[in-house]
Amino acid sequence: MLVRNLMIAGGLALAADGAEAFAAEARPFRPVRSDEDYGYLRDADERTGLDRLRYIALGRDAYLSLGGEARIRVDAFDAPRFGVAGEEADTYALTRLLFSADAHLGSRVRVYGELGAHRDTGKTAPPGGSDRDRLDAQLLFADVTPVDGWRVRLGRQEVAISPSQRFVALREAANIRQAFDGLRVTRNRNGLRLDAFYLQPVVNEPGSFDDHRNHGQRFYGAYGAGRLDKATSLDVYVMGLERDDVRFGRTRGDERRLSAGLRLAGTQGAFDYEIEAVVQRGRFAGQAIRAWAVGAGAGYTLEQPWKPRLGLRLDNGSGDKDPADGRLGTFNPYFPRGGYFNETGLTGWSNLSAARPSLTLTPHRTLTLEASYLVRRRATAADAIYLQPMAVLPGSDASRARAVGQAIQLDAAWQASRNVRVQVQAVRQKAGAAAIAAGGRDTDFGMAIVQYRF
């Protein structure tokens, strides 16, 4: 039934996409849909197809853009959470429907809203916090541009820090994307972007129009991004996260954590690279926080058919070496990208040491294939195994073994058209000694996504 629904959704999306083929050439969709601007259609000789929705004139220097998304994701998991604590096999579908309206009221004022409806179907386990939500305001904010180059945004919005989205992400992999309520001020000048923000994450409730900000969390900071030269970019940020009444290990208390990080990325001919490092300081329940993380990746693309790219990624997130020493060493990834390692959720950033070699092929400009091998160990045997995003695997302190496991992974992504994207992933996860000691076992995972955007 789920596979049939997936095929029907894909067929409907491809059929609907036929109208787009006759539309005026449009710019690519962006990861943050509210970053799109269809003002360029004002001067189009003829707006056809979906262009009629992207630019609806409201008067002098004012227009409305309509857009949306329909997505279905099917997951098949024979042992969620390594099968620990009686977790059983599960196969289910997650559906996402979004509809957006973007009103530009002259050059200085803009109002953007997005309604979302999210459902899970056939799931055996209780729905997660990002699985289910009836009709609700996914996004709703106002932009004011007091002078050129400055923007003030107030309301419910999405935030992504750095292109890698390691630690502050859109949460695209989940059914419900991450949203925040608050204020953000942005300055764009000569290729340099500066952001300052004070936000609170949105708590998704399963009913209609009942989502609300998390009053027990506050997220704030400043972020700068620019280019050092044509081939090199640099991102620098300082971010604070305050969480009330949270738990690390057997200790509960208030967390006040400050992160300082930078990311350097670039290319040199066929070689590409990027590295991101974060240091965390603060206090938790009377303890000093001393944590850190480093993520680095590099690749070399061969001038051969299918453009093979050989890649390697190394990631490390600190763990707590001694629960009794008055210091908390467990790294907190804040709001991480869920599919950074893979879509299983079996790998989180805390207490992590991971290596991932990969081979990527591009048989066609619309098709990408990748095979990879992920090895994961605990950074310190004294701390737990952490699942995505920062959930402790029950019983993972049962041994001092460090090996969490190895995974063979196959990915394929097909951009069938501008509007339709298809993605599949298959993972064979072998449990390591630390996961087995917690009662875990090997597991297989498969995922397929069909996504239609307009």
- Tell me the average pLDDT of the chain: 92
Residues 263/297, Cβ–Cβ less than 8 Å: no
Mean pLDDT for 131-159 is 97
Residues 109/84, Cβ–Cβ less than 8 Å: no
What pLDDT is stored for residue 26 in this prediction? 67
**What tokens appear for 70 in the block?**
């329909």
How far is the CA of 340 from the CAs of 100, 168, 272, 315, 348, in angstroms?
27, 12, 18, 11, 9
pLDDT at 391 over 80: yes
Could you give all domains of the chain from N- to C-terminal order, each with its CATH number? 2-453 (2.40.160.100)
Distance, in Å, from the CA atom of 86 to the CA atom of 81, rounded to the nearest integer, reads 9
Amino acid at position 274, single letter: E
What pLDDT is stored for residue 197 in this prediction? 98
**What tokens appear for 353 in the block?**
């040491």
> Which residues contact residue 220 at a Cβ distance below 8 angstroms, ignoring those fewer than 6 apart?
197, 198, 199, 239, 240
Q: pTM for the full model?
A: 0.91
Q: What percent of the chain has pLDDT over 90?
A: 85
Residues 20/419, Cβ–Cβ less than 8 Å: yes
Helix (H) or strand (E) holding 454: none
How far is the CA of 214 from the CAs of 11, 181, 188, 284, in angstroms?
39, 9, 30, 19
Distance, in Å, from the CA atom of 384 to the CA atom of 396, rounded to the nearest integer, reads 5
Q: Of 74, 73, 68, 56, whose CA–CA distance to 16 is shortest?
A: 68
**Tally of residues, the chain:** 454
Per-residue model confidence as pLDDT tens digits over 88-111: 999 999 999 999 999 999 999 999
What pLDDT is stored for residue 25 in this prediction? 60
Per-residue model confidence as pLDDT tens digits over 16-62: 444 443 344 667 899 999 999 998 888 776 677 787 899 999 988 89
> Which residues contact residue 247 at a Cβ distance below 8 angstroms, ignoring those fewer than 6 apart?
none
Mean pLDDT for 56-73 is 94
Between 237-251, 276-290, 304-318, the lowest mean confidence (pLDDT) is in 237-251
Mean pLDDT for 408-413 is 98
What pLDDT is stored for residue 440 in this prediction? 95
Distance, in Å, from the CA atom of 277 to the CA atom of 330, rounded to the nearest integer, reads 15
User: How crowded is residue 303: how many other Cβ atoms within 10 Å of its Cβ?
Assistant: 7
> Which residues contact residue 16 at a Cβ distance below 8 angstroms, ignoring those fewer than 6 apart?
419, 452, 454
**What tokens appear for 105 in the block?**
């009221």
Helix (H) or strand (E) holding 235: strand 232-248
Dihedral of the CA atoms 120, 125, 131, 132 (nearest 10)?
60
Q: Is the dihedral of CA 44, 47, 49, 51 positive or negative?
A: positive
Distance, in Å, from the CA atom of 334 to the CA atom of 241, rounded to the nearest integer, reads 7
> Which residues contact residue 250 at a Cβ distance below 8 angstroms, ignoring those fewer than 6 apart?
323
Distance, in Å, from the CA atom of 351 to the CA atom of 386, rounded to the nearest integer, reads 7
Q: What Rg do the C-alpha atoms of the chain give, in angstroms? A: 22
Place of tokens 């019983």: 395
Per-residue model confidence as pLDDT tens digits over 362-387: 999 999 999 999 999 999 999 999 99
Mean pLDDT for 167-174 is 95
Q: What percent of the chain has pLDDT over 70?
A: 94
What pLDDT is stored for residue 46 in this prediction? 66
> Which residues contact residue 135 at a Cβ distance below 8 angstroms, ignoring those fewer than 6 apart?
115, 116, 117, 208, 209
pLDDT at 176 over 70: yes
pLDDT at 152 over 80: yes
How far is the CA of 216 from the CAs of 186, 243, 275, in angstroms?
26, 6, 32
Q: Of 65, 73, 126, whose CA–CA distance to 97 is shortest?
A: 73
Geometric angle at alpha carbon 343, from 339 and 348, rounded to 5°: 65
Q: Of 33, 223, 11, whose CA–CA distance to 139 is shortest?
A: 33
Q: pLDDT grade, residue 85 (50/70/90)? A: confident
What pLDDT is stored for residue 23 in this prediction? 41
